[in-house]
Amino acid sequence: MCYHDKGIDMQREIVEIGHPALREMAQKVPDTEISSARIQRLIDDLIETKRKKNGAGLAATQVAVPWRIFIVEVANNPRYPYKPEIPLTVVINPEITFLTDTRISVYEGCLSIPDLRGIVERCPEIRVQGLDRQGEAIDHTIKGISAGTFQHEDDHLNGILFPDRVKDTRTLCTWGEFSRRYEDDFRAYVAKIVNQYGS
């Protein structure tokens, strides 16, 4: 019987900016390890932790585990009400390829950086390759706002946090100031992107 069957809360602690785990280069998960109990449990815990905290995604480095694994999922998210839905996607050993030179400028936030948002540039058309939790190859084309979410999580596996990518630090703001001053305009911009890219 696993811990989940006993109903034990499997949320993990999310480490915050300043914790060295967030600056580590995560290691590739060996194929032979993917089905192991520790990796499968880590994935379950990432999903549960992300859902409890209303994240759009979560990378293993954010729970101080240096493996190249992230998850993405957006469904009725109160933290990001303007984000298009993304079905639960587990990516092990991701490889992201940019498919266009176009960039979009989007506000991001991060569960490891409480109460801060800022504008980063993201590629709006990417190819995401890697393995799913069964070790099967995945190959997705992700567009629009959702593409930014995948790039944010992939950055975590390389020790990169969104403020590292903020070009104009004057766009940094708290969540309160974001919703008070910038959210309306940003929602209109997101709606345009979603209209253009379908996600």
- Residues that bind Ni ion in the complex, under the rule CB under 5 A: 110
Active site residues: 153
CB-based closest residue to Ni ion: 110
C-alpha 172/C-alpha 176 separation (Å) is 12
Nearer to Ni ion, 42 or 110 (CB): 110
Which residue number, 90 or 110, has a Cβ lying nearer to Ni ion?
110
Helix (H) or strand (E) holding 89: strand 86-98
Name every residue whose Cβ is closer than 8 Å to that of residue 76 and which is 6 or more positions away in sequence.
85
Name which of 66, 31, 37, 71 is nearest 55 in CA terms: 71
Residue (55 or 124) nearer to Ni ion, CB: 55
CB of 71 to Ni ion, least distance (A): 12
Q: How many residues does this entry show for the chain?
A: 199
> Least distance (Å) from Ni ion to the CB of residue 64?
14
Cβ nearer to Ni ion, comparing 110 with 119? 110
* Euclidean distance between CA atoms 94 and 130, whole angstroms: 4
Contact by Cβ (8 Å): 29, 65: no
Quote the least distance from Cβ 53 to Ni ion, whole Å. Answer: 11
Exposure b/e, 87-120, CB count within 10 A at least 16 = b: eebbbbbbebeeeeeeebebbbbbbbbeebbbbb
CB of 59 to Ni ion, least distance (A): 7
